[in-house]
Structure 1
Amino acid sequence: MKCKVGAKLLRIFFSTPAIMASNRGNSPSGSRRRKLNDTDFRDNGKPRGKIRVFCDTAGNAIASHYNQLPERGRVSRTQSKIYFMRNFNNWVKSVLLKTFQDRLRDEGQAQGVTALDLGCGKGGDLLKWKKGNVRKIVCTDIASKSIDQCKTRYNHNYKQAQGNIYKAEFLVADSTQQRLSELYRSDKQSFDLSSCQFVMHYSFESEARATMMVRNLCERLRKGGYFVGTTVNSDVLRQRLDQSETNTFGNDVYSVSFDSKDEFADYGHRYNFRLDGVVDCHEFVLQRKVLVELAKGFGMELVLWQTFSDFFAANSRSRENKDLMKTIKALEYYPSARPSSGKENDYCHADQVIADIKERKPGSEPKVGTLSQSEWDAASLYVVFAFKKVESEDEVFDVPASTSDDIPLLVISS
């Protein structure tokens, strides 16, 4: 079958040696009605913090889903159909967090950042915080087993760093139901940066839940602080649903199912999302305009809203970010003897670029770093965003809509 390449030009950045990767498996977080128990964790007899539990999640479908997810070993992860997609998503998160930590430093926060990781999951971002200018982090999630694993990872990192690492606080809570400000160890706790990765859309079950989630992410930010995250792009959901002959769309990597093709409601518009081996549960449509209005109520202005494609294009030029791609295998080397996808035409975009290089340089054996079309169809559902707590009501930012969906691709050798 002949390759069909989209009309849009691929974003190609020629580079020397280095290149190249997701952690969609984070879960939502927060707090609820009653404090159940405290659990001390110790390392070599010395206290290493405490997990404090503030919600009963037995009946919560989202918490139940993530509590039941098995811990996969490294070998199992490398055999996954979405191995490179998950690595690419991790690259996006790493660059996003570092970008705004650097911005805070440049804007005068030189003493180290205090951060809130809402929806921290199993602690997949702990090393990202460790590599940044962070002095304290509060990790919270609705899934108790995820927090257990997050705390264990932190203890491991603490031991490896011989204590030379940021302080951490851990809460099991449902952030869509209770104010976290009432649960912190210190009633004066404030943050320079709050992060909510692949979680925000879960809260849009109702206006009350979404408002509480945004409150928790924003109300304790200092002036000039940032709220950053990743979430599902409702514009892409709408486009793909309209293009489908049914109420379902996807491929062998992911699928999205709606009950109907009705216009999206501001809150409570439910769909089921499945991602190979990682997610299979309901989510809710989050529309940009609704989130922006909610955030404004807490003194926040939108400063960034980009598709993963545009975020990649804007951040893949630097040597540091390219080296990170290579380290975490954010992109798949192609051609490959064992490509991640065996589907016909899943690498048409890469084949076209390689053919163009060979035509210009006869006898060359070019390689590129990219994602398969199947993985990109799933990864391109997402956007990155950032809000800033403004100094005055007069500070307004013009953030145009980002719509690019070009598949990430870097030329490694030509």
Structure 2
Amino acid sequence: MELQSAKTEMLNEGGDVEGGGQKSQMKRRQEEDDGRVSPPKKLVIDHSVKVASHYNSLQEVGLAARSRSRIFFMRNFNNWLKSVLIGEILDQVRETGPQQVSVLDLGCGKGGDLLKWKRGGINHLVCADIAGVSVEQCQSRYEDMKKKSHVNEKIFNAQFINADCSKEVLSEKLDDPEQMFDICSCQFVYHYSFESEQKANMMLRNACERLKPGGFFIGTTPDAFELVKRLEASDSLSFGNEVFKVSFGSKGFYPLFGCQYHFSLEDVVDVPESLVYFPLFEHMAKRYNMRLVLKQRFSEFFEEKVKKEHHRSLMMKMMALQPFPCEDGGRQAADSRGEYGHAEEHSVRAGVQLPLGTLSRSEWEAASIYLVFIFQKMS
């Protein structure tokens, strides 16, 4: 009854999410309740195996190959954004004084954030992911990182768990059954769990139930409202550009759980995903005594954080933006001049001299699908 009332409440707040309009959707539900209309039967498919198989099959490539990627700068931009998010949250955790910092990386993948946790000086890390091959590669990266560290350099200890965190209780797999965490980080992963209410809740339970009071649940996920807006503006059931494509099965009806779409991004992602209706996500998090601290689109987060000198410096170090135009005969990520028209327009409008840092138009369009979220556990 609690979830049903929440659905009704959220439909009243933003009725377009679960239908072509609030009134028509509510009318249909009333007719279903009266027995006049049979609700459409939907074949429920579990995409977990497909997702795990996709990420297990991704080949590990070297720096040289990654630098030739069409989305090289976008990936660096996303990495910079995560670095800023993680760094600022670690600072907040330590505001209460020196302590042993423990982190859960939920959906760790191949370990792309290991260096961020190392630079953050944490003490303990638990990495969990549905893809067994990815977990093995993550553990291998960690072992290499330890070998290459200096004699007096302190490296966090770590545990690696291969598990479907939308189905299995993670606390039962911890080496230390009493382990509690200061931070749970869930980067570009949580949306897979919104395939069903049960999966979304289990993922949330794994993220939040072992957090200490005052601990943080942070992450990045696609913005459902932005995806639906772009779909409704499209003449077809898909939208995208030369680096990404999003395809839906239909328009006008967007269930709160299991609203599937297919997302492909260059050679990195090609899997089914689910819309995360954020008001419902926030409502569910309250069950675990979590309050929303921040929800920002990538563009908003970038515009705010880039104002700080140390974030700008990190951005240059991580090559998170591409110089436009390229200097010294360098090659732009995209061949089309139109891919950088926005940079030229900004230069003229803001009176900024070229070259300036940017992403190609296609990369901006892909990156701007996502949002950042921060929840904190109440005492």
Distance apart, 1:341 and its partner CA:
1.1
> Does the aligned pair in 2 maintain the 1:130–1:166 contact within 8 Å?
yes
> Does the aligned pair in 1 maintain the 2:47–2:272 contact within 8 Å?
no
Which residue does the alignment assign to 1:193? 183
* Cα distance change on mapping 1:109 and 1:195 into 2, 3 Å: farther
> Does the aligned pair in 2 maintain the 1:193–1:225 contact within 8 Å?
yes
1:164-210 per-residue CA deviation (whole Å, 9 max, x = no partner) reads 20111100001011111111011101000000000000001100000
SS for the counterpart of 1:134 is: coil
Stretch deviating more after TM superposition (313-322 or 279-288) = 313-322
Which residue does the alignment assign to 2:133? 145
Distance 1:104 1:150 in 2: 25
Distance apart, 1:378 and its partner CA:
0.4
- Write the letter of the residue equivalent to 1:301: R
Which residue does the alignment assign to 1:130? 118
Stretch deviating more after TM superposition (379-388 or 346-355) = 346-355
Distance apart, 1:256 and its partner CA:
0.2
Distance 1:83 1:313 in 2: 20
Alignment of 1:14-163 (within 5 A): 60-106=49-95, 108-161=96-149, 162=151
- The reply to whether residue 297 of structure 1 matches residue 290 of structure 2 is no
Distance apart, 1:301 and its partner CA:
0.4
TM-score, normalised via structure 2 length: 0.84
User: How many residues get paired?
Assistant: 329
SS for the counterpart of 2:168 is: coil
Distance 1:216 1:178 in 2: 8
- The reply to whether residue 247 of structure 1 matches residue 247 of structure 2 is no
1:135-191 per-residue CA deviation (whole Å, 9 max, x = no partner) reads 101001111110111111101111122462011110000101111111101110100
The structure with the largest helix share of the pair is 2
- Write the letter of the residue equivalent to 1:340: A
* Cα distance change on mapping 1:111 and 1:296 into 2, 3 Å: same
Distance 1:289 1:181 in 2: 27
SS for the counterpart of 1:263 is: coil
Q: 1:167 aligns with which of 157, 182, 189?
A: 157
Q: 1:335 aligns with which of 325, 330, 351?
A: 325
Distance apart, 1:343 and its partner CA:
2.2
Alignment of 1:200-349 (within 5 A): 200-336=190-326, 337=329, 338-349=331-342
Which residue does the alignment assign to 2:368? 380
Which residue does the alignment assign to 2:9? none
- Write the letter of the residue equivalent to 1:99: E
Identity %: 45
Distance apart, 1:329 and its partner CA:
0.4
SS for the counterpart of 1:265 is: coil
- Write the letter of the residue equivalent to 2:336: K
Distance 1:104 1:164 in 2: 19
Which residue does the alignment assign to 2:39? none
The structure with the largest strand share of the pair is 1
SS for the counterpart of 1:286 is: coil
Distance apart, 1:287 and its partner CA:
1.0
* Cα distance change on mapping 1:176 and 1:58 into 2, 3 Å: closer
Say which structure, 1 or 2, has more relative contact order (CA 8 Å, 6+ apart).
1
Distance apart, 1:278 and its partner CA:
0.2
Distance 1:236 1:255 in 2: 14
SS for the counterpart of 1:61 is: helix
> Does the aligned pair in 1 maintain the 2:121–2:156 contact within 8 Å?
no
Stretch deviating more after TM superposition (310-319 or 294-303) = 310-319
CA RMSD of aligned residues (A): 1.6
Ranges in structure 2 where 5+ consecutive residues have no aligned partner: 1-45
Distance 1:282 1:218 in 2: 25
Distance 1:253 1:152 in 2: 30
* Cα distance change on mapping 1:356 and 1:257 into 2, 3 Å: closer
Which residue does the alignment assign to 2:36? none
- Write the letter of the residue equivalent to 1:374: S
* Cα distance change on mapping 1:252 and 1:166 into 2, 3 Å: same
Ranges in structure 1 where 5+ consecutive residues have no aligned partner: 1-56, 392-414
Q: 2:171 aligns with which of 157, 161, 181?
A: 181
Distance 2:261 2:220 in 1: 18
SS for the counterpart of 1:192 is: strand
Distance 2:370 2:48 in 1: 28
> Does the aligned pair in 2 maintain the 1:308–1:383 contact within 8 Å?
yes
Q: Which runs of 4+ in 1 moved over 4 A?
A: none
> Does the aligned pair in 2 maintain the 1:101–1:133 contact within 8 Å?
no
Distance 2:268 2:196 in 1: 25
1:65-84 per-residue CA deviation (whole Å, 9 max, x = no partner) reads 10011111211111111000
> Does the aligned pair in 2 maintain the 1:81–1:340 contact within 8 Å?
yes
1:240-269 per-residue CA deviation (whole Å, 9 max, x = no partner) reads 001000000001100000000132111011
> Does the aligned pair in 2 maintain the 1:248–1:256 contact within 8 Å?
yes
- Write the letter of the residue equivalent to 1:173: A
Distance 1:284 1:381 in 2: 13
- Write the letter of the residue equivalent to 1:256: V
